[in-house]
């Protein structure tokens, strides 16, 4: 399958060895600005969930799997910490990894291990104590005044070599115990960067900062040579930190991939999506949205950089998706809030061609990261995500293939609940929120009895255009209508046929029923239980 994708012009995005013919390795492939995650040689949509930070022990797993099952997630993201696998320097303990993979295999769930190494939310908390305690050998960053900052310096070869050695041992172990690729992707570090200090000021870092921007970065960005300040102006310190942290993560990823070439990525904490200057310190150095180009140049062995999106505002969420969905970067949302109001952004992410999506804190250990996520992980919250995963799990591979080869558009209800629209070919798609399924909101008696969903943060749709007048539509708590974008005089849109159904495993459409009459007279009305519709439109002249 990989070979046939290559024959069709799909290319591997990151430097990786070819998959073996017997058991294709997971790969990220890209073509014409679209991206596909290939698992077992076929497209895969990651319907993920991330466990809480301290759920990375065998004792916690019994509280993880029930939530993963209730969600219907096909992938679990969970930490593998440096302190855990190398508590004593040079002595490795992979019992956690073995337990995790065995149980995941039994659960038929894929794993994305999160390598908590030099940086975890920027801090070195997950480095082994022999690293944390030895700041001579593993130096921390320095402030301009020479004071110690908590974050480990990216300029220390000793730290990089030690982290890399542990990471490579981990990947080598995976290669040995995971021939069937339960692990489909690896996150390298976690939210790299530093808060409160834009870059290291230790003597070596100072020397590098005063020197020229490396020629390879200049070339990649098409800039004129100069010092960091000359080339990047007010973003010089952030660009400097980003380059060095990207190079650091790249060296770790490259060494891991040389052992087992599966997709690898780095995630980012995010600043204000509309204000690069404020984003530049929150934190500085990670694959923050305004530094993606620097990271692309500095970390070619990473398949993608990914946003951790906890924003609850739909405009902000959409802007962040836009920042990371690029022809040279597959969109994947490795973390988002686990509150009911975050669940609707699944639709927006799919609408930008996301290859994966994962709410954070999805286990029954009782921890809540409110206000980032929900207050409690109650059944209603799980259901807000599970209802969507239920629809997409059986068609995850078909959806991934369709989304990567057709125009796609999505919408999630905004704070104002206003209608949203998009254009696909000659069609204009209009989405309304908070409507009853029957009738128009300006009907007198409906005005006084609005749908309760009107004031709730729920609702969204995703649309794939599979032909000039043909669409696949899925959604929840929304009303969708197709109209002609630019109708000629006397022309109007006509719904020719609307089928509700699903795809069989071989990708063939299986119709359950036709929607007609009340079910189409007032648009296509989605309830809280998402469905998949195949829509054929026509023009009435």
Could you tell me the two tokens for 293?
A: 């180009």
Scanning residues 289 to 308, which ones bind ligand DGJ (CB under 6 A)?
308
**Measured from the CB of residue 97, what is the shortest distance to ligand DGJ in angstroms?**
19
The count of chain residues that interact with ligand DGJ, using the rule CB under 6 A, is: 9
Within 10 angstroms of residue 500's Cβ, the number of other Cβ atoms is: 15
Find the residue with minimal CB distance to ligand DGJ.
Answer: 369
> Shortest Cβ distance from residue 217 to ligand DGJ (Å)?
26
Nearer Cβ to ligand DGJ, position 334 or 530? 334
Residues numbered 461 to 490 that lie near ligand DGJ (CB under 6 A) are: none
Q: Is 191 in the site for ligand DGJ (CB under 6 A)?
A: yes
Residue with smaller CB distance to ligand DGJ, 52 or 103: 52
Positions in 393-452 near ligand DGJ (CB under 6 A): none
Each as own residue / partner, the long-range contacts of residues 363-367 (CB below 8 Å, 24 or more positions apart, any chain) are: 363/51, 363/52, 363/55, 363/60, 363/63, 363/64, 363/67, 363/68, 364/63, 364/64, 364/66, 364/67, 365/52, 365/54, 365/55, 365/60, 365/63, 365/64, 367/52, 367/54
Q: Does 13 bind ligand DGJ (CB under 6 A)?
A: no
3-state helix vs strand vs coil in the chain, percent to 5: 35, 30, 35
Nearer to ligand DGJ, 190 or 242 (CB): 190
What is the per-residue burial (b if ≥16 Cβ within 10 Å, else e) of 386-399? bbbbebbbebbbbb
> Which positions ≥6 away from 306 have C-beta within 8 Å?
265, 266, 267, 268, 287, 324, 331, 332, 333, 334
Q: Minimal distance in Å, beta carbon 52 to ligand DGJ? A: 8
> Is residue 335 within a helix (H) or strand (E), and if so which, with residue range?
strand 332-336
Query: How far is residue 241's CA from residue 524's CA, in Å, rounded to a whole number?
Result: 49
Q: Of 251 and 308, which CB lies nearer to ligand DGJ in the complex structure?
A: 308
* DSSP code, position 346: H
The answer to the question of residue 335 lying near ligand DGJ (CB under 6 A) is yes
| Smallest distance from ligand DGJ to CB 230, Å | 34
What are 480's two structure tokens? 């969708």
Residue choice 13, 30, 53, 268 for contact with ligand DGJ (CB under 6 A): 53
Q: Give the residue with the Cβ less far from ligand DGJ, 261 or 309.
A: 309
Binding flag, residue 369, ligand DGJ (CB under 6 A): yes
| Minimum separation from the CB atom of position 382 to ligand DGJ (A) | 17
- If one asks whether residue 190 binds ligand DGJ (CB under 6 A), the answer comes out as yes
Q: Is 192 in the site for ligand DGJ (CB under 6 A)?
A: no
Partner residues linked to 472 by β-bridges: 464, 534
- 163 scored as a contact of ligand DGJ (CB under 6 A): no
Q: Which is nearer to ligand DGJ, 53 or 280 (CB)?
A: 53
Cβ atoms of 39 and 59 within 8 Å: the answer is no
Which of 46, 112, 372, 474 lies at the binding interface for ligand DGJ (CB under 6 A)?
372
User: By C-beta, is 41 or 124 nearer to ligand DGJ?
Assistant: 124
Give min distance, CB of 34 to ligand DGJ, in A: 27
By CB under 6 A, tell whether 250 contacts ligand DGJ.
no
Q: What is the DSSP letter of 40?
A: T
H or E element at residue 532: strand 531-540
Rule CB under 6 A: which of 116-135 touch ligand DGJ?
121
Query: How near is the Cβ of 525 to ligand DGJ at its closest, in Å?
Result: 36
**Nearest distance, CB of residue 361 and ligand DGJ, angstroms:** 6
| Residues 398/445, Cβ–Cβ less than 8 Å | no
Q: Where are the beta strands (DSSP E) in 82-219?
A: 110-120, 140-142, 148-152, 186-190
Tell me whether residue 181 or residue 190 sits nearer to ligand DGJ (CB atom).
190
Distance CA 17, CA 175 (A): 14
Closer Cβ to ligand DGJ, 345 or 526, answer by number = 345
Residue closer to ligand DGJ, measured from CB, 53 or 435: 53
Beta bridge partners of 308: 335
333 binds ligand DGJ (CB under 6 A): no
Tokens in use for 40?
């077992």
Tell me whether residue 2 or residue 252 sits nearer to ligand DGJ (CB atom).
252
Report how far apart, in Å, the C-alpha atoms of 327 and of each of 35, 365, 531 are.
8, 39, 29
Q: How far apart are CA 518 and CA 87, in angstroms?
A: 64
Residues found near ligand DGJ in the complex (CB under 6 A): 53, 121, 190-191, 308, 335, 360, 369, 372
């Amino acid at each position: 399958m990989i070979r046939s994708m290559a024959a069709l012009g799909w290319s591997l995005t990151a430097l990786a060895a070819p998959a073996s013919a017997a058991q294709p390795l997971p790969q990220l492939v890209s073509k014409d600005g679209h991206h596909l995650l290939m698992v077992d040689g076929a497209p895969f949509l990651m319907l993920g969930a991330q466990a809480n930070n301290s759920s990375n022990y065998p004792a916690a797993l019994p509280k993880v799997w029930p939530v993963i099952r209730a969600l219907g997630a096909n992938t679990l993201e969970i930490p593998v910490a440096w302190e855990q696998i190398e508590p004593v320097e040079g002595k490795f303990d992979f019992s956690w990894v073995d337990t995790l993979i065995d149980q995941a295999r039994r659960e038929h769930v894929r794993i994305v291990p999160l390598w908590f190494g030099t940086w975890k939310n920027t801090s070195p908390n997950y480095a082994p104590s022999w690293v944390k305690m030895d700041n001579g050998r593993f130096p921390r960053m320095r402030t301009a005044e020479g004071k110690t900052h908590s974050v480990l310096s990216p300029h220390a070869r000793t730290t990089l070599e030690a982290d890399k050695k542990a990471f490579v041992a981990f990947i080598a172990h995976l290669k040995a115990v995971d021939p069937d690729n339960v692990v489909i992707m690896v996150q390298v570090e976690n939210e790299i960067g530093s808060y409160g200090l834009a870059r290291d000021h230790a003597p070596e870092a100072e020397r590098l900062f005063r020197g020229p921007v490396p020629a390879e970065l200049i070339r990649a960005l098409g800039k004129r040579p100069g010092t960091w300040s000359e080339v990047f102006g007010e973003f010089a310190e952030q660009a400097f930190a980003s380059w060095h942290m990207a190079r650091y993560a790249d060296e770790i990823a490259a060494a891991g991939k040389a052992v087992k070439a599966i997709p690898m990525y780095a995630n980012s904490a995010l600043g204000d999506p509309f204000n690069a200057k404020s984003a530049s310190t929150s934190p500085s150095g990670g694959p923050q949205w305004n530094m993606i180009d620097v990271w692309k140049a500095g970390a070619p062995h990473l398949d993608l950089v990914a946003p951790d999106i906890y924003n609850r505002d739909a405009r902000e969420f959409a802007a962040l998706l836009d920042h990371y969905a690029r022809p040279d970067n597959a969109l994947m949302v490795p973390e988002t809030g686990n509150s009911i109001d975050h669940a609707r952004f699944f639709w927006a992410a799919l609408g930008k061609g996301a290859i994966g999506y994962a709410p954070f804190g999805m286990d029954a250990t009782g921890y809540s990261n409110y206000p980032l996520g929900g207050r409690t992980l109650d059944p209603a919250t799980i259901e807000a995500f599970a209802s969507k995963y239920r629809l997409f799990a059986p068609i995850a591979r078909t959806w991934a293939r369709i989304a990567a080869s057709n125009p796609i558009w999505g919408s999630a209800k905004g704070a104002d609940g206003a209608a949203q629209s998009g254009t696909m070919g000659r069609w204009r798609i209009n989405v309304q929120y908070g409507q009853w399924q029957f009738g128009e909101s300006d009907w007198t008696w409906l005005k006084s009895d609005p749908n309760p969903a009107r004031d709730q943060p729920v609702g969204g749709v995703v649309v794939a255009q599979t032909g000039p007048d043909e669409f696949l539509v899925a959604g929840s708590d929304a009303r969708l209508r197709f109209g002609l974008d630019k109708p000629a005089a006397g022309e109007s849109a006509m719904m020719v046929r609307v089928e509700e159904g699903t795809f069989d495993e071989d990708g063939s459409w299986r119709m359950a029923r036709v929607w007609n009459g009340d079910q189409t007279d007032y648009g296509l009305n989605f309830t809280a239980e998402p469905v998949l519709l195949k829509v054929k439109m026509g023009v009435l002249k």
